[in-house]
Structure 1
Amino acid sequence: MMAGERFEATYLIETPLDPAKVAEVMAGEQSSGTFTRVAGETDELRQRTRATVTSVAMLETVDQPSLPNAWLARKGVAGPWRRARVAISFPVDNVGANLATLASIVAGNLYDLGEVTGLRLDTISLPWSFRRRFAMPSQGIAGTRRLTGVTNGPMVGSIIKPNVGLSSEETAALVARLCEAGLDFIKDDEISADPVHAPLAQRIPAVMNVVRRHQDKTGKAVMIAFNITDETDAMRRHADLVAREGGTCVMASLNWCGFSAVETLRRSTDLALHGHRNGFGAFSRHPMLGISFPAYQVLWRLAGVDHMHVHGLQGKFAQEDEEVVSSAQDCVTPLTDGADDRVLPAFSSGQWAGTAQATWDAIGHADLLFMAGGGILAHPGGPAAGVASIRQAWAAVASGTKLEQAATAHPELRQALDFFGKVAG
Structure 2
Amino acid sequence: MSERIYASYWLETGDDPARAAEVIAGEQSSGTFVALPNETPELKARSGARVERLEVLERVSAPSLPTPVQAAYYTRCRLELSWPIENLGASLPMLMATVAGNLFELRCVTGLRITDLRLPPSFAAAYPGPAFGIQGTRQLSGVAGGPLIGTIIKPSVGLSPQETAQQVRELVQGGIDFIKDDELQGDGPHCPFDERVRAVMRVVNEAAERTGRKAMVAFNLTGDLDQMRRRHDLVLAQGGTCVMVCLNAVGLVGLHELRRHAQLPIHAHRAGWGSLTRSPALGWDYAPWQKFWRLAGADHLHVNGLRNKFSESDDSVIEAARAVLAPVMPQAPMTAMPVFSSGQTGLQAAATHAALGGADLIHTVGGGIFGHPQGVAAGVQALRAAWDAARAGVPLELQAERDAALRSALGFWK
TM-based fold match above 0.5? yes
Does structure 1 retain, via aligned residues, the 8 Å contact 2:104–2:112? yes
Deviations along 1:207-248, one digit per CA (max 9) or x if unpaired, are: 111111010011111111000111111111111111111111
Matched AA of 1:222: A
| Equivalent in 195, 202, 211 of residue 195 of structure 2 | 202
1:347 and 1:364 map into 2 onto residues whose CA distance is 15
1:303 and 1:69 map into 2 onto residues whose CA distance is 35
Does structure 1 retain, via aligned residues, the 8 Å contact 2:92–2:252? yes
1:335 equivalenced with 2:333 (yes/no):
no
- Where 1:111 maps in the other structure, the secondary structure is coil
Aligned to 1:28: 26
Aligned to 2:151: 158
2:287 and 2:335 map into 1 onto residues whose CA distance is 13
Task: Spell out the pairing of 1:71-86 with structure 2 (5 A cutoff).
Answer: 72=69, 77-86=70-79
Does structure 2 retain, via aligned residues, the 8 Å contact 1:8–1:125? yes
| Equivalent in 390, 393, 414 of residue 383 of structure 2 | 390
Does structure 2 retain, via aligned residues, the 8 Å contact 1:135–1:263? no
Task: Spell out the pairing of 1:218-297 with structure 2 (5 A cutoff).
Answer: 218-297=211-290
Aligned to 1:19: 17
**RMSD, aligned α-carbons:** 1.1
1:39 and 1:199 map into 2 onto residues whose CA distance is 59
Matched AA of 1:20: A
1:45 equivalenced with 2:43 (yes/no):
yes
- Where 2:44 maps in the other structure, the secondary structure is helix
Task: Spell out the pairing of 1:338-353 with structure 2 (5 A cutoff).
Answer: 338-353=331-346
1:133 equivalenced with 2:133 (yes/no):
no
1:39 and 1:171 map into 2 onto residues whose CA distance is 65
Aligned to 1:145: 138
2:182 and 2:412 map into 1 onto residues whose CA distance is 25
Aligned to 1:59: 57
> Structure 2 regions of 5+ residues with no counterpart?
none
* CA drift at 1:97: 2.5
1:222 and 1:38 map into 2 onto residues whose CA distance is 61
Matched AA of 2:336: V
* CA drift at 1:393: 1.2
Deviations along 1:174-203, one digit per CA (max 9) or x if unpaired, are: 111111111111000001111111111211
Matched AA of 1:134: Y
Aligned to 2:179: 186
Aligned to 1:376: 369
2:72 and 2:98 map into 1 onto residues whose CA distance is 28
* CA drift at 1:84: 0.6
- Tell me the TM-score normalised to structure 1 length: 0.95
1:140 and 1:83 map into 2 onto residues whose CA distance is 38
- Where 1:13 maps in the other structure, the secondary structure is strand
- Where 2:126 maps in the other structure, the secondary structure is coil
2:18 and 2:41 map into 1 onto residues whose CA distance is 21
Does structure 2 retain, via aligned residues, the 8 Å contact 1:12–1:86? yes
1:7 equivalenced with 2:8 (yes/no):
no
Aligned to 1:365: 358
1:193 and 1:53 map into 2 onto residues whose CA distance is 45
Matched AA of 2:90: A
2:291 and 2:178 map into 1 onto residues whose CA distance is 25
Structure 1: 4+ residue segments shifted above 6 A = none
1:404 and 1:79 map into 2 onto residues whose CA distance is 57
* CA drift at 1:152: 0.3
Does structure 2 retain, via aligned residues, the 8 Å contact 1:312–1:348? yes
2:166 and 2:287 map into 1 onto residues whose CA distance is 39
- Where 1:196 maps in the other structure, the secondary structure is coil
- Tell me the TM-score normalised to structure 2 length: 0.98
1:6 and 1:270 map into 2 onto residues whose CA distance is 33
* CA drift at 1:405: 1.4
- Where 2:203 maps in the other structure, the secondary structure is helix
Matched AA of 2:143: V
Does structure 1 retain, via aligned residues, the 8 Å contact 2:381–2:405? yes
- Where 1:58 maps in the other structure, the secondary structure is strand
1:264 and 1:37 map into 2 onto residues whose CA distance is 40
* CA drift at 1:342: 1.1
Aligned to 2:305: 312
Does structure 2 retain, via aligned residues, the 8 Å contact 1:92–1:130? no
Equivalences, count: 414
1:173 and 1:358 map into 2 onto residues whose CA distance is 33
Matched AA of 1:125: R
Percent identity reads 47
* CA drift at 1:124: 0.8
Does structure 1 retain, via aligned residues, the 8 Å contact 2:179–2:217? yes
1:18 and 1:387 map into 2 onto residues whose CA distance is 58
1:382 and 1:364 map into 2 onto residues whose CA distance is 31
* CA drift at 1:290: 0.8
Matched AA of 2:316: E
Does structure 2 retain, via aligned residues, the 8 Å contact 1:229–1:253? yes
* CA drift at 1:44: 1.9
* CA drift at 1:270: 2.3
1:170 and 1:129 map into 2 onto residues whose CA distance is 48
1:202 and 1:383 map into 2 onto residues whose CA distance is 23
Does structure 1 retain, via aligned residues, the 8 Å contact 2:169–2:204? yes
Does structure 2 retain, via aligned residues, the 8 Å contact 1:137–1:343? yes
Deviations along 1:50-79, one digit per CA (max 9) or x if unpaired, are: 110111111121111111122x2xxxx423
Of stretches 161-170 and 305-314 in structure 1, the one that deviates more from structure 2 is 161-170
